[in-house]
Structure 1
Amino acid sequence: MNTQEVANKLVEYCRNRQEDKAYQELYSPEITSIEMSEPMKEVHGMDGLQKKGEWWNENFEVHDTEVSDPIVADHHFAVRFWMDTTHKPSGERSQMNELAVYQVKDGKIWKEQFFYDTQE
């Protein structure tokens, strides 16, 4: 798949809350995932990505999401995510805009990085 095809497929999976399918089909086993903060600031490989997903599910309830169309430039693409979540440990509900930038190599996502602030 080329970058546009990978981007379109990722957006489709995210809109349908099928992230597990995206990980299986679109991600490289050598994936690097970078967040802006701890505890999962940088993880490597599918095991790291799985642990990050488990942490997210243990700590957040997602009420609603919106996923933009991708913007593609050569081997990179960006997607804006909007999420309405509740932080389970604190019970605090918030909305968040997040910009995700992906790098595609050999038809697979091998790097993702997230940029965000929470809205009060």
Structure 2
Amino acid sequence: MTTEQVAKRYYELIQQHQYEQIQNELYAPDAVSIEPENASGLPLVVTGIEALRQKEGLFFTQVDELFGSYMSELVVSTFFFSMMTGMDVKMKGKERKKKEQICVFEVRDGKIVKEQFFYDDFA
């Protein structure tokens, strides 16, 4: 698949909250995930699908209540795509907030090989 095809499929699946299917279908087995340095409670860098799943699970254990989510349109180039995602969320022990992040994905040989997130701390 081309980067544009991967991006469109990602966008389709993320709108349906199909996180596991996204990882199974679109990620390389040794994909890397990078969080910003201010990410509390999450590892900054993980490698491999299982580690990505564990990190995602860890994030959702910190969520008290999710009221909704939203995303921007895709921006696609030859080897990268990006979008803004946001959520209306109450993290455990925190006030309800709308949090946004920029997500950048690198695609090689039809698979996502790296994801990187840019945001102010979710915690």
Per the TM superposition, whether the score is higher than 0.5 is yes
The answer to whether the 8 A contact 1:94-1:118 is kept is no
After superposition, the C-alpha distances for 1:63-118 in whole angstroms (9 at most, x for unaligned) are: 21112221011100111101111112x04211111100000011000100001126
More strand by share: 1
What residue number does 1:7 align with?
7
1:26 maps to 2:13: no
Q: Distance in 2 between matches of 1:46 and 1:92?
A: 31
Secondary structure of 1:69's counterpart equals coil
1:99 maps to 2:102: yes
Moved over 4 A (4+): none
What residue number does 1:75 align with?
79
How many positions carry a matched residue from both structures? 118
When normalised by structure 2's length, the TM-score is 0.89
Secondary structure of 2:120's counterpart equals strand
Q: Distance in 2 between matches of 1:117 and 1:79?
A: 16
What residue number does 1:87 align with?
91
Deviation of 1:33 after TM superposition, in Å, equals 0.3
Deviation of 1:50 after TM superposition, in Å, equals 1.1
RMSD: 1.5
1:41 maps to 2:44: yes
Q: 5+ unaligned residues in a row in structure 1: which ranges?
A: none
When normalised by structure 1's length, the TM-score is 0.91
Identical counterparts, % of pairs: 33
